[in-house]
Structure 1
Amino acid sequence: MVGPARIATRRTRVPVYAFRAEPGVPQVWVMRFDEAALTEVGAHAHEFPGIAYFEAGGGALRLGDRRERIGAGCGYLIRPGEVIAAEDAAALAGAGGWGLYFTPEVLGATDLADGGPADRRLRWRIHPLLRAFADDGPSGFVVPREDRRLWAGYLGTIEREMHERPAGYQYSVPAVLVLLLVAVSRLRAAAATPGRSDSLVDAVLDVIEQRYRGPYSLVDVAGELSFSPGHLTTEMRERTGRTVQEWITERRLIDARRLLAETDLPVAEIGRRCGYEDPGYFARVFRKVHGVPPRDWRADAG
């Protein structure tokens, strides 16, 4: 991948690209797919999510084991770790392609960037704008004709803001990125087929997302989804490597870490806001997961 200095690579079977963080600079980058860039980069993958969008038709793209013929208004999610390659770089360059790349930190989802790729993808299921990059559904979507000029405008704005870095670009770039990701989410929702893919994990995580701040447990989740607690535990462990209760704890502690780092709220109040009425129990759960009590974690984070 050709790009600014903040893009670094490490060599595996194919190059895998990672953002090199630049203090105070949003980890967002837009590139145009010209023939030189497409020829030079070859097959590669990213540690971060991205979107490829084409204003016109021409050429084809390899995404994992799929070959996608490019049409006008076609867009594709580029999921972390997925190998991407151009077929017929000259034809693809004529399709007016854009590449948009970013990290979860830009969306304020710092905690969701932690962990290995498999763990990260499961965590992303709880974020409405990252969920599309975590599932195994189709990666393609088509932007309606009446919205294509708007999409080109969004991408051009991010490109210009990141290149020129005018006053306030740290705020404008994430804002435009959110507009694009909301548009992707709406397009995919409109095109979704009911019952497609593994809906159980999504259903469990949706319920947890809605209820984790209260006194909620495996029994409550199972009852809401009409499963026995034992069966639901087995299914979730087989599909995700974690139990329902572990996912509840994970979601609560994501919020707890955010509140510890970003607010001056008392630890007991943070525990209550995250579903732990007993401050002592909150401290024990936090220490079991992180190795230190909440107060010490807050001091280190500060």
Structure 2
Amino acid sequence: MPRSRAHGEHPATPAREAFESGRVPLWVGPYRSSSSHGAAGSSVHSYAVILLITRGHSRIQHAGELSLQEGDVHLIPPGDPHGPAHAQDAEGWGLAFRPEAFAQGSGWGEEPELWLRPFLQIRGGCHPVLRPSAAQRRRLEGWLRAMATEFEGEARGRDEALTALLRLVLIELERIEVPVSAPVSAGLGLTRQVLSYIELNGLKPLSLADVAGVVGRTSTHVATVVRRETGRTVGDWILERRMAEARRRLRGTDERVDIIAERVGYADVTHFIRLFRRVHGLTPAAWRRKVLAVSPEAPS
């Protein structure tokens, strides 16, 4: 089964662990891999990854074998299997984020296609490696450094600064000319369609049958392919989308839990609380208290 760890070496810091557990919506920091061979097996994660190589080079499996050179940007959409990496002292910056990274009122949380656009291009068949110009690379590296500084600090307005910098990074990525890729496997192509539809429509009433009807396949076929490619079920991915929005609202608003449940697709608040506790180990109210207790800012 695919593992849920991004390729390369990232320090096992408390901030990284907080991101992996969902307590914070993004992680940014130095990327470094000095090993000649990555770990065996492929990885799949539920968040988006941006990797900027600033020195060295690397090879990795991601819809075929990719060669990453100094200055390249590698985009990994949520749910895309990738790895293992074969690196020669590659260094750079890594950025991983979930949709709730965009705070309430930013204009991005309600429209996932805004943060997804660079990754939707990849899912549409474009190559996952971008080659920015020298000026674009300098801007991206500067913004990633600034994000890392904000991320490690507790300055007032930190969350707003991170959201603004992330938006600049994504806008810059959209401006880079994207090369068209060779066709991907039928299974990955179908899985990408399914995940894109869930990300754009997952807060509405949605079932496996609904998703299968949209992509023109049987429910059994869709369930089998998505599970094989990602290690998760279609229901798991719908739940992931809804929990991401729930976390965003719990962190960024003072909405009641029953209101949040309805906004993320659950008419039964008790069912929502049970699902949230199963995923996070806490009720929504307890999770909100815990997260806000260590956050430098309360919700607006």
TM-score band by shorter chain is: 0.5 to 0.7
Following TM superposition, by how much is the alpha carbon of 1:269 offset from its aligned partner in structure 2, in angstroms? 0.7
Q: Does 1:272 align with 2:265?
A: no
Structure 1 unmatched ranges of 5 or more: 1-14, 32-36, 55-59, 88-97, 111-124
Counterpart AA for 1:75: D
Counterpart AA for 1:201: T
Counterpart AA for 1:215: P
Counterpart AA for 1:63: R
The aligned runs of 1:36-185 (5 Å cut-off) are 43=36, 49-52=50-53, 61-64=57-60, 68=67, 75-77=72-74, 82-86=85-89, 99-104=92-97, 108=101, 128=116, 131=119, 139-143=128-132, 147-156=133-142, 175-185=164-174
Structure 2 unmatched ranges of 5 or more: 1-7, 16-25, 44-48, 77-82, 104-112, 293-300
Following TM superposition, by how much is the alpha carbon of 1:192 offset from its aligned partner in structure 2, in angstroms? 2.6
Q: Report which of the two structures shows the higher radius of gyration computed on alpha carbons.
A: 1
Following TM superposition, by how much is the alpha carbon of 1:247 offset from its aligned partner in structure 2, in angstroms? 1.4
1:37-91 CA distance string (max 9 Å, x none): 99xx67587998521258xxxxx723247685969xx52428787342159xxxx
The two structures, once aligned, show a CA RMSD in angstroms of 4.8
Three-state SS of the structure 2 residue aligned to 1:18 is coil
Counterpart AA for 1:219: A
Distance 1:221 1:280 in 2: 25
Distance 1:257 1:179 in 2: 23
Three-state SS of the structure 2 residue aligned to 1:192 is coil
Specify the alignment match of 2:200 in structure 1: 210
Three-state SS of the structure 1 residue aligned to 2:9 is strand
- Kindly tell me: are residues 85 and 277 of structure 1, through their superposed partners in 2, closer, same or farther at Cα, counting changes over 3 Å? same
Identity of aligned residues (%): 24
Q: Paired residue for 1:263, among 247, 253, 270? A: 253
Q: Compute the TM-score of the two structures, normalised by the length of structure 1.
A: 0.59
Following TM superposition, by how much is the alpha carbon of 1:129 offset from its aligned partner in structure 2, in angstroms? 7.1
1:236-280 CA distance string (max 9 Å, x none): 222222221221122111211222233221111101100112223
Q: Contact 1:16 / 1:45 at 8 angstroms: preserved in 2?
A: no
* Count of residue pairs the alignment pairs up: 243
Q: Contact 2:53 / 2:69 at 8 angstroms: preserved in 1?
A: no
Three-state SS of the structure 1 residue aligned to 2:212 is helix
Q: Does 1:223 align with 2:213?
A: yes
